[in-house]
Amino acid sequence: MMKPSVLRITGILFLLLILKASQAQFSVEPFDPATADPAKDGIIYSLPRNVLRIEIDVVKKEEFKGPYSQYSTRLLGLTDVIQENTISFSLGDVRISSYAEPDPRLTYFIDLGNKSKKAASMLLSLSDEGYITGFSEVQNADQGKAKARQPVVSGETDNIRPFRDLLKPVMIEKVDTIFRRINVDTISKVEKILKKSILEKMPEQQAKEIADQIYKIQESKFNLISGDQEVNYSRESIEYMISKLSELEKEYIEMFKGTSIVKVETHVFYVTPQSSPEGYLESICRFSKATGISEKSSASGEAVNLVVTPVTMSKSMETFINQRNRVEKKLKGLYYRIPCKSVVSLRLGGGVLYEEQRNISQMGYVTFLPASGIGDVQFHQSSGSLIKLITE
């Protein structure tokens, strides 16, 4: 259901490349380990792709029937009473973020074998993941990294007992008086014997005692509020006593009305959308009100689908770039991305849980720069698209 959370977020992924010297000339080609010439001098780099991190909050509600629910209406006049123990689930907040990682299908080799001897030197720095990060000065390629957040899943508590034992002991002492007549010769006397035994209170008797306690608490609260007490308490003392009495009253009433426990469980999924002009659809899990989140292969519940729909793709642009990439050229410059804005949505059945527009790099196009005549070039850190370009 969840991908391993060992993916790392690189602080500066694909930030800057500046080629210093107008005479510099080089060739870039797709890197294929099976056909690459190990004798060539050059540098390997990758273009980034975007990974979506999806967080889904699931609200788990457990309802517990009160031990004296059957007496709720008769003794307290309560109508909204939990009649049985139940567990239900509902979907809460949904959050989607993205980060970049190297695209294994878009790795390139900068062939420096054709660089002119008269050209000025180039100093390129690469991050540990293969992104070009700077030029002409040594930069710390090991930028700050942050591990992806682990699914926070609220812990389960076994043997939950939601009701405090607010009763006095349910066993009561019964005292019977027995008279025994003793005859001594002609004298008769009566001896009084006390015989003790323990009897269990009936549930209705216990319920009546608790109901009496509730009425006494309510009376005490009324006396405090109305000022009908012998001691002149301060305002702070009265507020404190009323709050404590209200807490105790609530716990007593829950023994008739029932109580509920609500927990929020966060499930985290990682999805890497695949490039497609028609868009991308993937089922990430299933959801049921009875069982909550389950594996996408589960037979229960409805599918929760991630849908990525490109909105800025142009068929004519795609045709032109494909034709340009197929043109046989002796030398090609750095490859870069033209990202595509897409609608990212999370859906359950016919409902939309989350929707927004964001750039998804792999939904766009890939093409290349000229091999020469280019001065300063700057790329976007998370998409590999052009930010700045200076021609000579």
Q: Which residue is it, tokens 């043997």?
A: 159
Structure confidence at residue 323 (pLDDT): 84
State if pTM tops 0.75. Answer: no
Structure confidence at residue 256 (pLDDT): 92
Tokens of 150: 């682990």
Per DSSP, the residues of 34-87 read TT--TTS-EEEEEEEEEEEEEEEEEEEEEEE--TTGGGIIIII---S---S-EE
pLDDT along the chain (392 residues), means of 10: 43 39 64 83 85 95 92 89 92 92 88 58 58 42 40 44 60 62 62 68 87 90 80 84 92 92 95 88 93 90 93 80 80 84 91 92 86 73 76 66
Structure confidence at residue 22 (pLDDT): 39
Rounded alpha-carbon distances, angstroms, from residue 59 to 262, 263, 288, 290, 391: 7, 6, 12, 12, 56
Q: Which residue is it, tokens 């977020």?
A: 9
